[in-house]
Amino acid sequence: MTVAVIAFPGSNCDRDVVYALQSLGVEARWMWHTEVDLEGVGGVVLPGGFSYGDYLRSGALAAHSPAMPAVRRFARDGGPVLGICNGFQILCEAGLLPGTLGLNVSRRFQCSVEHVRVAAAPASLRLEPGEVLTLPIAHREGRYYAPPDVLAELWRHGQVVLQYADAGGQVDPAVNPNGSVDNIAGVANRAGNVVGLMPHPERAMAEWFGSADGRRFFARWAGAGGTAA
């Protein structure tokens, strides 16, 4: 499918995502946030970075960019939408995903390689529950929070996609780099076609990155199947 990677002022992982998808044989195109036409697009990625300098709140201003009404329509019609790091923040601010992302408990920017366990696998991801991925994080506002009633609904409907875990896939509050509630690293909407995650799969595309699990992630999401290494 053709994937549109939408860049906002301050995005810094957009080209990386385009390259990552193209390396798997996926047709990916870079799209500026003022473009409003998603005709012919089969998937949308909101990449990481610091849209609008993270002023007000991370993702708050980008959620009102000209492209977002088209993204909302695309998501409403069942199109797969993926938000990575700042893209996850934008999706939450836009109301396309539940919950919010606040300052890390350390109140500092954190950059590290983490293990995440697949808690539930919406159809758009094609992952298996229990799989463990090794992916890097790089954020200051990645602490996921949802009120208890919303959190209960997320678990009930299989919307918690990824949790921070140890290398064996054991979820432990001690293995939680930012203080996210229930170690949550990624969630989906009720329909399962909109997914947000804090780790960066585009930064784990080869073993010399420290992990090639990003290839597996993108190949499954984009339907590239056997092209993943």
Nearest to 34 by CA among 75, 71, 67: 67
- Residue 159 and residue 116 in contact, taking contact as beta carbons nearer than 8 Å: no
- Say how far apart CA 201 and CA 47 lie, in whole Å: 10
Cα R_g (the chain), whole angstroms: 16
Q: Note if 200 is an active site residue.
A: yes
Strands, DSSP E only, in the chain? 2-7, 27-32, 43-46, 81-84, 100-102, 110-118, 132-139, 143-145, 160-165, 184-188, 194-197
Task: Say which of 85, 92, 114, 139 is annotated catalytic.
Answer: 85
Q: Which residues pair with 115 in a beta bridge?
A: 134, 165
- DSSP letter assigned to residue 64: G
- Phi then psi for 40, rounded to 5 degrees? 85, 0
Burial of 209 (0-12, 13-18, 19+ CB in 10 A): middle
Cβ neighbours, 10 Å, residue 3: 23
Q: Note if 202 is an active site residue.
A: yes
- DSSP letter assigned to residue 133: E
Residues noted as catalytic = 85, 200, 202
